[in-house]
Every structure is written in C-alpha cells, then in structure tokens.
Amino acid sequence: MAASSSAGCPTPAGANNDIPTYEYVDINTRPFHVGAFERLWKETLKPTYYSFRDAPQETEDEEFAQEMGVSAETIDELKVICSPDTLRCYPENEPPDKNVVPMDPGLRTLRLRKRQQDYKETLLRDFTCRQHLYATELESLAMGKRPADPEDLVPEGEFILSINVVYPVIFERFKHVRPHQTLQVLGSQKLTDLRDAICCVSDLQVSGEFSRSPDMAPEFISKDHYKSATFYLEGTFYNDMRFPECRDLSQTIMEWAKSHDFPTFQTAKMEETTFRDLKIKIGYPYLYCHQGDCEHVVIITDIRMAHRDDCLDHKLFPLLTYKHRVMTRKCAVCHLYISRWITTNDSLAPMDPCMFCELCFRMLHYDAQGNKLGDFLAFPFVDAGAFN
C-alpha cells in the first residue's frame, strides 16, 4: 500500500519534515506528524491572527501604524486608498443584477458560464442536483455555531481535520460512483470518536432469519455484537480495544505479513490515540475496517486551524459536513416506504426475493395475533439510504 516516498518529489535537503509538502503534486503529501505541524503553525503566528474575536478598530490601526512605522494619518490615508469600495465597478446606488451574466463579457470564465446557462435554458427540466442542495444544507447548518455552554467552546488555535470516509463497494450501485461522507474532527479527539461517528449500514445489519419472531430482530444489530474495528494509517493498525469482546482485527494481516516476508506493521490502541499523535499523509488512502470485513477507504483531505466562522461547539464534533444521498429501495407493495424486510421462498410475494416496508410486511405475512401466515423466509434489511 505504501509507495516508497523516494519515487515522488525530491525532499529538499535540510527541510523540516513536519512541514507538509507534496509527495505527488495535487495528489498527496509526504508523511508528517500532525502535532508537530500544529505547533509549527502556532509558533509562527501571533495569537491575534487566529483569535475568534475581533480587536477593536482603534487598537488595530495603532498596531498597523506601529508595525509599519508610519503615522496615524498615513494609515487613514491608506484606509481610503485601499478601501474595498475601490473594487466596485458600478455606481454606488445602481447595483447590477448579479444573477445575470453581463452582455458580451470580456472574461473567459463568464463566456463559459453564459454558454452553459444558455444551454440550460433550452432544457425543459431544471436539473438542480439534489445531492448538492443537501450537501450545502449540511455544510451551512453548523457554520459559525457557538455552544450554549462556554465550556464547550473549541479553543483558539485548535486544528480541524477533514476526513472522507468512502462507502465500501458492497452494493452493486456503488461500483461506479464513490459515494462518501465527510467528517470534521478536532486534533485533540481520539480515533474512537471518529469510529463512533462513521455511520455504515453494516453496523445496523441484522443477520439471521426471523420469520417466526420478527420482533426479535432489533436485538441482533451487528454493532452491538461485533465491536471490533481498526484504522490502518502509515504502517500502524489502530485497534478499538475498548470492550473485552473486541478482537484485534489486524492479527491475521500481521501474521500473513510475517509469513510472507513483509515489513512488519505496528499496532496501537484506537482509544489511546488522538489525531494529534498521528503521523500521516494528507490525501493518501488509508483503511477503516469493521464488522470483520466491511472495509472503507479513509482519506484525510485537509488539516487547518479553526476559524471564527467554523462550528465552534466542541460537542458537535466529529461533525458531518457532507453525506452522499443514496437512492433508497422502496417497498414492493406501497412503493412509499423504505424497505425493512427481504423475503425469499415467499408464496405471497410477486417476486423472489422481495422487499417490504415494516407495515406492509406485517400486514401481509401475519394475522392480527401475530401468527405467521404461509411459508416464507424473512431477513431484516437495512437500506444503504436509510441514513439520508
């Protein structure tokens, strides 16, 4: 999995290895230590640069003047010369319609947009992508959110990591697109915080045949039964060992590696590792494995300092900022509700296998006393879109 870093961009001699640089340009970075990187940024910047509060205008101007070694009058002059008003291209009280691309635009970007919009207008239906609208909703929902209790405020200078968790290709329809969810975690959070925030249908899967006792099914949710999980990052397996029944999922791989003359992997405990402790590459695909064999590609896409416009409520992290909307499978009877059951050998069903929502399933297959009618096998079904 790990490509040798010598194949990518050359490392400048004497460079600090904890300053992230490209290994492959626009693709991924070289490995670096997250905590050390954070320290480097914080040492470089004045705390006011990343403070969540605004300094009063006067103090700021004074500081400017001092730093630049000029008089207050010069600052006032600069304020006028450099005012954002100088960027305005229309008379103050006559703003143009910003929804319209101007006629005969000189900018190439606008010519492209105009072509696209002219084309769109020829279409009968407006294909505003629901996927995108939903994504915006999620993103803007948390923006600038402050906690009710000041204790929960994310500290100034905290770092936020963005992590893409790709859905496994266990469903046929995931083969071509790579749907994912994006989560933001704080540098101070543990890997287990992320693990608990990743929602995957296989955690909710119920295995077994329940046609005789459909009410029992919820007690057999996989998440409660198979608690083991592991992250694989830069040669180390981080295993979730919080519960006595957890197993070291990496063991088989470790043994295999040993018997095949592979470089040995390290192991560590997920619950004892914060993101700050990690050495990682940004943009590089890593692994999250749970339920024994449900494997997700995990990519850390960004690390940056928290900004005052971010969600600053510690309790809301890990924060889900993007989620792929999945088409859901509807019930074969009502075509309205999401399927909860799947039946086979079912004399009552129009096809085999057949999907039913909870309501239709019960109405069709059981009498008022809850006795099973006819011959069939029933398996609980969790739709991949159940989380939408």
Residues that bind Zn ion (CB under 5 A): 200, 202, 294, 331, 333-334, 337, 357, 360
In this structure, are strands 236-239 and 266-269 parallel, antiparallel, or unpaired?
parallel
Hey, which residues between 193 and 252 contact other proteins (CB under 8 A)? Answer: none
Query: With CB cut-offs between 5 and 8 Å by kind, which of other proteins, Zn ion, none does residue 8 bind?
Result: other proteins
Closest CB to other proteins among 252 and 301?
301
At 163, which helix (H) or strand (E)? strand 159-166
At 279, which helix (H) or strand (E)? strand 279-280
Query: With CB cut-offs between 5 and 8 Å by kind, which of other proteins, Zn ion, none does residue 351 bind?
Result: none
Residue 25 exposed, middle or buried by CB count within 10 Å (0-12, 13-18, 19+):
exposed
Judged by CB under 8 A, the stretch of 213-221, 269-277, 307-315, 357-365 that binds other proteins is 307-315
258 in contact with other proteins (CB under 8 A): no
Query: With CB cut-offs between 5 and 8 Å by kind, which of other proteins, Zn ion, none does residue 59 bind?
Result: none
Q: Could you please report the per-residue DSSP string of 123-159?
A: SSS----HHHHHHHHHHHHHTT---SSGGGBPPTT-E
CA distances to 2, 140, 362 from 302, in Å: 19, 18, 47
Q: Could you please report the per-residue DSSP string of 52-76?
A: SSPPPHHHHHHHHHHHHT--HHHHH
Angle between helices 57-68 and 72-81 (to 10 degrees): 110
CA distances to 5, 25, 302, 326 from 22, in Å: 10, 5, 13, 34
92 in contact with other proteins (CB under 8 A): no
98 in contact with other proteins (CB under 8 A): yes
Query: With CB cut-offs between 5 and 8 Å by kind, which of other proteins, Zn ion, none does residue 92 bind?
Result: none
Residue count, binding to other proteins (CB under 8 A): 83
Q: How far is the CB of 337 from other proteins (least distance, A)?
A: 29
Closest CB to other proteins among 246 and 300?
300
Closest CB to other proteins among 40 and 153?
40
Judged by CB under 8 A, the stretch of 20-28, 235-243, 254-262, 325-333 that binds other proteins is 20-28
Query: With CB cut-offs between 5 and 8 Å by kind, which of Zn ion, other proteins, none does residue 251 bind?
Result: none
Hey, which residues between 37 and 76 contact other proteins (CB under 8 A)? Answer: 37, 40-41, 44-45, 48-50, 54-55, 60, 64, 67-68, 70, 74-75
From candidates 26, 58, 151, 215, binder to other proteins by CB under 8 A:
26
In this structure, are strands 236-239 and 22-24 parallel, antiparallel, or unpaired?
unpaired
